[in-house]
């Protein structure tokens, strides 16, 4: 594989030549890119000698587009050591030197980082937030390890050993869903009654957004069709399509699905909508009550089940309050699904609005994977692992 090793300015940079040597020994082609500060710790001559290629460290040295030709060449980018500074820059989209510019241009290909810094810096909420952001984009972190640090204290912050980094690279050389496109539906739908009122539900979109992030983290391009929610997608490989009503969600999902490898429909779609929508605010009519006539919405999941072709995976959700398993099983068969994810509102901490969920992933083959109560991110990961094997 063609691997670019990015080196930033920390004491652990002295281990970078050893990492390059081990990667070459494992049969990889290696080129190095370093920040100005990295070259305070390890020399250009050393890096060029061990890699056998010119070092990329100056954005302006040989024309302004070397970061583009280098990113076209590389199949993987490994940053070791990765300082708090480079982690923060990438998380914020800052490209102010050769390596940070290369990192932002290196999209759609695997990136691995081996963080190394003082333990207090590693524990800082800003660094932890930035690390979580990078992970949600699919960047893999190897380490840091616990041990003695250059500043004399002990704690978590040591760069993983070069051999550990080489081993981790082998495991994640290709992202599982690279080159695949997936559809996810999320959030509630709003069905208009008049110009100021609607019928809606309590879905926050958290489950659907976590699924989209997990899919994108595994290398997929994601079409995320979402009803009204305040959430935003972090991963640049998530294409957000915002809709309001069930019919708009139906139009977007049926348009996208034929180009997808699979779809996971977690949206809480209104089964009914008002037969008519007034274009003004409806007024109270004396002391009498009001009757709202409802008509059925199209069933998006059942429609996709009818459209599904060989090789596509279709996953639905079922939100049940009684006879949970039997009802979920019925939906699985009736809507031609490969898996159904059952949410029981009887499980505490599961379902609408909360940050956690507890699910049963039921397969067409009769398999059933039950999760404990987990964060919606962890549940999303479990669902992706189960339905993409
Ligand atoms: O958004 P959160 O606050 O994180 O909450 C997550 C959730 C509770 C909404 C989610 O985990 C969940 O359970 N989603 C499914 C809710 C639901 O509408 O279930 P259902 O049993 O009514 O629908 C069954 C399946 O058909 C679902 O995949 C649904 O998206 C789909 N459907 C339903 C009706 C319809 N007209 N079109 C559909 O596609």
CATH code of the domain containing 276: 3.40.50.10300
Confidence of residue 253 (pLDDT cuts 50, 70, 90): very high
* Closest ligand 1 atom number to CA of residue 350: 8
- Ligand 1, atom 25, lies closest to the CA of 317
Residues 199 and 269 in one domain: yes
* Closest ligand 1 atom number to CA of residue 210: 4
Ligand 1 center to 267 CA (angstroms): 4
* Closest ligand 1 atom number to CA of residue 320: 21
* Closest ligand 1 atom number to CA of residue 201: 9
Confidence of residue 63 (pLDDT cuts 50, 70, 90): low
Mutate to test the pocket of ligand 1, among 318, 328, 374 (most ligand atoms within 8 A of CB): 318
Higher pLDDT, 161 or 176: 161
Domain count of the fold of the chain: 2
Instruction: Check pocket membership of 268 for ligand 1, CB cut-off 6 A.
Output: yes
Residues 148 and 228 in one domain: no
Instruction: Check pocket membership of 136 for ligand 1, CB cut-off 6 A.
Output: no
pLDDT tens figures, 297-332? 999 999 999 999 999 999 999 998 888 899 999 999
Residues 229 and 160 in one domain: no
Domain boundary among the residues 111, 144, 172 is at 172
* Closest ligand 1 atom number to CA of residue 340: 28
Ligand 1 center to 342 CA (angstroms): 10
Instruction: Check pocket membership of 318 for ligand 1, CB cut-off 6 A.
Output: yes
Q: Is the pLDDT of residue 1 over 90?
A: no
Q: What is the CATH number of the domain that holds 98?
A: 3.40.50.1950
Closest CA to 162 of 352, 3, 330: 3
Instruction: Return the structure tokens found at 289.
Output: 């009550």
* Closest ligand 1 atom number to CA of residue 357: 11
Instruction: Check pocket membership of 317 for ligand 1, CB cut-off 6 A.
Output: yes
Instruction: Check pocket membership of 341 for ligand 1, CB cut-off 6 A.
Output: no
Instruction: Check pocket membership of 226 for ligand 1, CB cut-off 6 A.
Output: no
Residue 357 CB coordination number (10 Å): 27
Residues 157 and 231 in one domain: no
Ligand 1 center to 216 CA (angstroms): 21
Instruction: Return the structure tokens found at 156.
Output: 């978590």
Domain boundary among the residues 119, 143, 172 is at 172
Residues 195 and 97 in one domain: no
Give CA–CA dist 122/124, Å, rounded: 6
Ligand 1 center to 259 CA (angstroms): 22
Q: Is the pLDDT of residue 378 over 70?
A: yes
Instruction: Check pocket membership of 103 for ligand 1, CB cut-off 6 A.
Output: no
pLDDT tens figures, 133-142? 888 788 889 9
Q: Which pLDDT score is estimated for 18? A: 96
Residues 98 and 211 in one domain: no
Residue 238 pairs with which residues in a beta bridge? 222
Domain boundary among the residues 172, 201, 222 is at 172
Residues 168 and 192 in one domain: no
Higher pLDDT, 107 or 87: 87
Instruction: Check pocket membership of 249 for ligand 1, CB cut-off 6 A.
Output: no
Residues 32 and 99 in one domain: yes
Residue 158 pairs with which residues in a beta bridge? 145
Instruction: Check pocket membership of 356 for ligand 1, CB cut-off 6 A.
Output: no
Q: Is the pLDDT of residue 263 over 90?
A: yes
Instruction: Check pocket membership of 316 for ligand 1, CB cut-off 6 A.
Output: yes
Residues 126 and 213 in one domain: no
Active-site position among 151, 260, 277, 368: 151
Residues 12 and 44 in one domain: yes
Residues 250 and 297 in one domain: yes
Q: Does the annotation mark 151 as catalytic? A: yes
- Ligand 1, atom 16, lies closest to the CA of 268
Mean pLDDT of the chain: 92
Q: Is the pTM of this model over 0.95?
A: no
Instruction: Check pocket membership of 337 for ligand 1, CB cut-off 6 A.
Output: no
Mutate to test the pocket of ligand 1, among 183, 184, 203, 212 (most ligand atoms within 8 A of CB): 203
Q: Of the given ranges (160-164, 215-219, 270-274, 298-302), which has the lowest mean pLDDT? A: 215-219
Question: Domain of 32?
Answer: 2-172
Q: Is the pLDDT of residue 272 over 90?
A: yes
Q: Which pLDDT score is estimated for 174? A: 62
Ligand 1 center to 255 CA (angstroms): 19
Q: Which pLDDT score is estimated for 65? A: 64
Residues 148 and 214 in one domain: no
């Amino acid at each position: 594989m063609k691997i670019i090793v990015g080196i930033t300015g920390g004491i652990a940079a002295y281990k970078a030549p050893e990492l390059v040597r081990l990667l070459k020994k494992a049969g990889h082609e290696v080129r190095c890119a370093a920040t100005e500060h990295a070259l305070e710790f390890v020399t250009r001559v050393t890096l060029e000698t061990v890699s056998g290629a010119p070092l990329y460290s100056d954005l302006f040295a040989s024309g302004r587009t070397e970061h583009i030709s280098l990113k076209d060449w590389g199949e993987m980018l490994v940053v070791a050591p990765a300082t708090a500074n480079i982690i923060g820059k990438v998380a914020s989209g800052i490209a102010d030197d050769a390596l940070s510019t290369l990192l932002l241009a290196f999209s759609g290909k695997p990136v691995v980082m081996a963080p190394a810094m003082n333990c207090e810096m590693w524990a800082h909420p800003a660094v932890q937030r930035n690390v979580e952001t990078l992970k949600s984009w699919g960047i893999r972190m190897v380490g840091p390890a616990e041990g003695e640090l250059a500043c004399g204290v002990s704690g978590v912050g040591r760069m993983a050993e070069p051999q550990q980094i080489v081993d981790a690279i082998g495991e994640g050389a290709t992202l599982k869903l690279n080159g695949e496109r997936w559809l996810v539906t999320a959030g509630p739908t709003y069905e208009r009654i008049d110009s100021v009122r609607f019928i809606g539900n309590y879905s926050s979109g958290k489950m659907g957004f976590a699924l989209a992030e997990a899919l994108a983290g595994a290398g997929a391009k994601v079409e995320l069709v979402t009803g009204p929610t305040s959430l935003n997608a972090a991963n640049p490989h998530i294409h957000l399509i915002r809709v309001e009503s069930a019919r708009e969600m139906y139009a977007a999902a049926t348009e996208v699905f034929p180009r997808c490898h699979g779809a996971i429909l977690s949206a809480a779609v209104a089964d009914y909508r008002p037969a008519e929508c007034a274009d003004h605010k409806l007024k109270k009519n004396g002391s009498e009550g009001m009757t709202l006539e409802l008509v059925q919405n199209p069933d998006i999941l059942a429609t996709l089940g009818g459209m599904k072709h060989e090789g596509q995976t279709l996953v639905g959700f079922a939100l049940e309050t009684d006879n949970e398993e039997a009802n979920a099983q019925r939906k699985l068969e009736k809507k031609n699904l490969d898996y159904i994810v059952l949410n029981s509102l009887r499980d505490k901490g599961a379902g609408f609005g909360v940050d956690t969920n507890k699910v049963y992933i039921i397969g067409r083959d009769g398999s059933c994977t039950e999760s404990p109560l987990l964060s919606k991110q962890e549940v999303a990961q479990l669902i992706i692992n189960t339905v993409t094997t």
